[in-house]
Structure 1
């Protein structure tokens, strides 16, 4: 009994609170820079970036309100929250965890859409009018709702509490976190359990559900990898396939790789490792809380990286910080990258304005 500790819960709680604060701060700064008059117009892409920022803040708010924790053993994969940390009513405990699962899946799917947009913008910018017009907004919104809704519904229906999980978790949580069964609520798949004869029984429904959710998650990852590969192929072609210089091509691809590593490291890798460990009988226990910690930090890192990689935003930030007239005069000089970016976004704007004709 003396070996229990809530240290992991405290660290996770602090990380989720900090992640929410940083997410709102970074996204607010990013949005303010995005919609200020710039020498390099972002065209209609700024509205897509603004949508991702808004959804990132929504995810952070969801994580902050629910305060999810993870616990993984060789028999089950559990998402739980402590009632004292839950902002929502206790009666919505299990539903709130399913909503968090939906938000997590929504972020993964939106990453896929973002890379599809980038692939389209470098390979065939004229078609952006058809694929990302206001008329197509309902289609994309429906896809996001269906994907995230299916993920959350499976979590709530297939992974809800039962007698076997209640019995095992009550012992594990008391020993690990000093928590009694009336202090937390959980959902999560249970792969197997032991009956009265100490015979291992596999829970087919949970295994089937986890296979479906794993396929959904990894399908988004494979699609992202495919688009990264296609973008690289387009950039490696001779000529100017997307109306920008080779220097700008390298800059954009570098930004693309960096922005690919963040969701892979924060959203895919932690969750995948814990899934694999659990499926192969290797429990990670409280260390699984790294999933929620990395996921809580991700919405603040994405706009930060964008501000550091987008040259006009970085120049404006330097101008604000340095407050030097010489610096401002130097920034006002238009270089070839800015000219190239004007061409790229101007072409995209033309395609959007002439969307009906293109369609």
Structure 2
């Protein structure tokens, strides 16, 4: 990654920060009371997005996929503080997982509002505590997976030495790297799968896939409810198009 790409990431992150601040202000000051608890979901999504883009601005994360490795490392000015960056990068990933979790909650709320209103009990006190607990567990798993991944990558930096120098120009010595490296090099110089790394790498993937499945499921149930309703065909099509667009947008990769 060159200096130009790093500056672009920082520029887009700065724009995203301003946009999220404006959106949070509009939600707090202009949202209607009829939105109920849904506005708090939107506000939570906005605040998590604000954290995420702020960390993007500070870390300038670079993602690299190479053979059996899927790693992240900072290319910003703070890359020389690896111990601090380990916590910051892990928190960055926890925010990413929280974005997916809140998206699922948004789809669940829509499903509860339109199809099964019993589900809305979990968005009010005291049962909202269970939902918040699940969200904290989800974020903690993301945090710990990437926090612990550093130690395996530290032991296997030779695997990525030439690659990192080629794509970023940084020496791997002293460079913080987190992510997934599924193999180790044995005494005979062979690549063999490393079970702890495979398990750690599977956890966030499983959480993401579960989130996507739930969003698709809620969208499907809403679609069925719309088809069975007494609304006009045109209204049904417009509503279905809106929900499908929301689902598709949620499946897109997160951008700074």
Please tell me the TM-score bracket, short chain as reference: 0.7 to 0.9
Task: Write out per-residue CA displacement over residues 224-253 of structure 1, whole angstroms, 9 at most, x where no aligned residue.
Answer: 11111111111111326xxxx765544443
Q: Which runs of 5+ in 1 are unaligned?
A: 1-5, 268-293, 297-359
TM-score (norm 1): 0.63
Please, which of 101, 105, 108 is the counterpart of residue 113 of structure 1?
105
Q: Once structures 1 and 2 are overlaid, which stretch shifts more, 145-154 or 26-35?
A: 26-35
* Cα 1:239/1:111, change in 2 over 3 Å: same
Residue 40 of structure 1: CA displacement? 9.1
Match of 2:226 in 1: 235
Q: Once structures 1 and 2 are overlaid, which stretch shifts more, 167-176 or 226-235?
A: 167-176
Match of 2:93 in 1: 101
| Counterpart mapping for 1:214-253 below 5 A | 214-239=205-230, 248-253=235-240
Distance between the aligned counterparts of 1:56 and 1:256, measured in 2? 21
Residue 94 of structure 1: CA displacement? 1.9
Distance between the aligned counterparts of 2:129 and 2:48, measured in 1? 16
Distance between the aligned counterparts of 1:37 and 1:187, measured in 2? 41
| Counterpart mapping for 1:66-77 below 5 A | 66-77=59-70
Q: Once structures 1 and 2 are overlaid, which stretch shifts more, 65-74 or 174-183?
A: 174-183
Residue 89 of structure 1: CA displacement? 4.7
Aligned with 1:179: secondary structure?
A: coil
* Cα 1:19/1:118, change in 2 over 3 Å: farther
Q: Comparing both chains, which one has the higher relative contact order based on Cα–Cα distances under 8 Å and sequence gaps of 6 or more?
A: 1
Contact 2:20 2:50 in 1 (8 A): yes
Please, which of 251, 255, 268 is the counterpart of residue 242 of structure 2?
255
Aligned with 1:26: secondary structure?
A: helix
Residue 70 of structure 1: CA displacement? 1.0
Q: Which runs of 5+ in 2 are unaligned?
A: none
Distance between the aligned counterparts of 1:163 and 1:140, measured in 2? 36
Match of 2:116 in 1: 124
Match of 1:62 in 2: 55
Contact 1:78 1:187 in 2 (8 A): yes
Distance between the aligned counterparts of 2:101 and 2:53, measured in 1? 16
Distance between the aligned counterparts of 2:233 and 2:113, measured in 1? 16
Match of 2:137 in 1: 146
Distance between the aligned counterparts of 2:215 and 2:188, measured in 1? 47
Distance between the aligned counterparts of 1:99 and 1:227, measured in 2? 29
Distance between the aligned counterparts of 1:250 and 1:39, measured in 2? 26
Task: Write out per-residue CA displacement over residues 96-145 of structure 1, whole angstroms, 9 at most, x where no aligned residue.
Answer: 222222111111111111110111011134652x2211433332222111
Contact 1:103 1:148 in 2 (8 A): yes
Residue 72 of structure 1: CA displacement? 1.1
Contact 2:61 2:73 in 1 (8 A): yes
Please state if 1:82 is matched with 2:75.
yes
Pair member with larger Rg: 1
Number of corresponding residues: 256
Please state if 1:21 is matched with 2:21.
no
Task: Write out per-residue CA displacement over residues 50-103 of structure 1, whole angstroms, 9 at most, x where no aligned residue.
Answer: 2222222122222222222111111211111136245x9542122222222211
* Cα 1:163/1:53, change in 2 over 3 Å: closer
Match of 2:124 in 1: 133
Match of 1:286 in 2: none
Contact 1:82 1:183 in 2 (8 A): no
